[in-house]
Structure 1
């Protein structure tokens, strides 16, 4: 069961950067920061709002680019790691559920990355998140989401589990419920002869479904790429970075 920090409490926060080390490499971070910084400069204040700011993987380099960043995150443990990093104390963070928590001011860009939209495990919560992002944006502001494309073609009839990592000390697999679009990621680790198990629930979501959520929130799709380097999104793409523009006042 989650603690008061949700599924990203102290035990996860303590090793989060190390366990996701490849996502902190420059080839993963720099293209995202380039795109977000460019969008922030397009209009208005040039401020950026990160939903699910975590330990500051993108917020810190974006701040170093001169963009004023504010974050929302439910996990105090993750935010403590952000605060401990150089420059972390210059980034404002509001503790709360990013689907509904509000902050002062308006922003040129809001963003939600690394599949974090799927941490909202109901369609209603995901719809609320789009409405919350739009409410914080200036007219013409952009909302950016990075998320996987559901990989259901790997599921043969009668199977509901797909492995995503098999190693000597760690096994990871996802389970799916196609009727509800719910899924869970399961992590089994064996270290020093001791085993541990952790399971995190998600709700997978389709690109067209996200477009409808954006429309309900007064936004329209402007761009969709396969990733941060802006390669074309195709039927074979396994993820996408989508950009919606706020069209209402």
Structure 2
């Protein structure tokens, strides 16, 4: 094993598996069931103090030293691309930061805003009137598709003529465009880019990575469902260990 991937098949997790497949790098998935609360286990917290998936441990880092742990999906993409010397230019400073700024755009905009949209649309009537929040994030996700569309109208990929980790970062968050209430025909440059990336064999393999058999929520007891709701929603600060 070279790269250990703490993984659940979410959009952020799929960024990592897509890039690893593109690189042909050996890796092993360690399933992290975020619905069950695995992300709060002590080993994972020692790797990712933010208790969010994914994270990696590179057991064969480039310097030959001790294993390297990296959390945050954008940081993982930078680490893996730099180590392999692919999908992120290093010599040309302009090309390098064209990629970096679009990775950061995805991390700061596309991912969080699309995630918030999904959150408010999943809430039931017991949560109260969500009309404003739903409209707010529907509009923001639509705006972000427009940003992608305007970026892609005169270039093949997000950072220019070459496929890069900027595309790897953004692509998994566009897979569910229909559920995001997006008409992809309205964004024809995004549609062209999306279809091209969807046809890449490594992208297909990365998307197909699982973390075991899916769990049927109907099999959970009411008590377990309530426990999971408490650990997944409305989290507050964890107390620091006692010295």
Q: Normalized against structure 1, the TM-score is what? A: 0.30
Which of these two proteins has the greater Rg computed from alpha carbons?
A: 2
**Greater helix share, 1 or 2?**
2
Using CA pairs under 8 Å that are at least 6 residues apart, name the structure with larger relative contact order, 1 or 2: 2
**TM-score w.r.t. length of structure 2:** 0.30
